[in-house]
Amino acid sequence: MNLLEIFAQVGEGMGHSVLIFVLTLVFSLPLGLLVAFGRMNRWAPLAALKKSSSPIWRKIAGFRPVCLIFKAFISVLRGTPLMLQLMVVYYGPYYIFKIPITLEYQFYAVIIAFAVNYAAYFAEIYRSGIESMPAGQYEAAKVLGYNKSQTFSLIILPQVVKRILPSITNEVITLVKDTSLAFVIGYAELFTLVKRIASREASVLPYVGAAIFYYIFNLVVAVVMEKLEKKMSYYS
């Protein structure tokens, strides 16, 4: 068996890996922005207690429940392995609610786990970019008559994207390799099929083919992101 025969046999798995990659970005990038907004939420229902003479009550006044919830969400997802999250999303409905697991659900479980996991990472990247913007940007937009949504979408967001693009690129490249983790629930992506062929043929050549695919995939992603970064350089 040569590499061409291996690529022919795992063609469907390659397509599944690319699909996981694309759909994860489609869902996790906007979801990450929403999570970032929740993480930066400053609503404090007990803010009136700041006027209290007691330092304990003044400390309680700074309690921000929405921020705390999203902070915990990010902490859990970044602090536990994606492989474990895949297993929880896939097997959880059966063990918790006794809902039968179907083969069709494998795909949905993969996309849900990947999208939610990467949204947590993207949220912190978005947050760092947004909070790095100088306050003068907001003040200038207010003077020009922009409302909050216009200020963010027309002035802040384009600059934030430019600043965080290198960090986003790192996560996107990591995502290419992480698609192989879908094998843990038996989804037929590239690595799952390669393992089966390697076991059947008793050969390491299928793993070499997989390595070549992941490298080329990463190379394409890196080139695209580099061109995008250069295209947005006029925001410097």
- Per-residue pLDDT tens digits for 141-154: 888 889 988 999 88
Does residue 166 contact residue 229 with C-beta atoms inside 8 Å?
A: yes
pLDDT at 87 over 80: yes
Looking at the chain, the whole-number percentage of residues with pLDDT higher than 90 is: 48
Does residue 66 contact residue 41 with C-beta atoms inside 8 Å?
A: yes
Average pLDDT of the chain to the nearest whole number: 88
Does residue 24 contact residue 176 with C-beta atoms inside 8 Å?
A: no
167-222 pLDDT per residue, tens:
999 999 999 999 999 989 988 888 888 888 888 888 888 888 888 889 999 999 99
Q: 58-62, 98-102, 203-207: lowest mean pLDDT where?
A: 58-62
Please tell me which of 29-33, 136-140, 147-151 the model is most confident about, judged by mean pLDDT. Answer: 29-33
pLDDT at 38 over 80: yes
- Measured distance CA(229)–CA(236) in Å, rounded: 11
Cβ neighbours of residue 46 under 8 Å, at least 6 residues apart? 60, 61, 63
Does residue 197 contact residue 206 with C-beta atoms inside 8 Å?
A: yes
> Structural domains in the chain?
3-235 (1.10.3720.10)
**The two structure tokens encoding residue 29:** 């990038």
pTM, to two decimals: 0.88
Looking at the chain, the whole-number percentage of residues with pLDDT higher than 70 is: 97
186 compared with 111, residue with greater pLDDT: 111
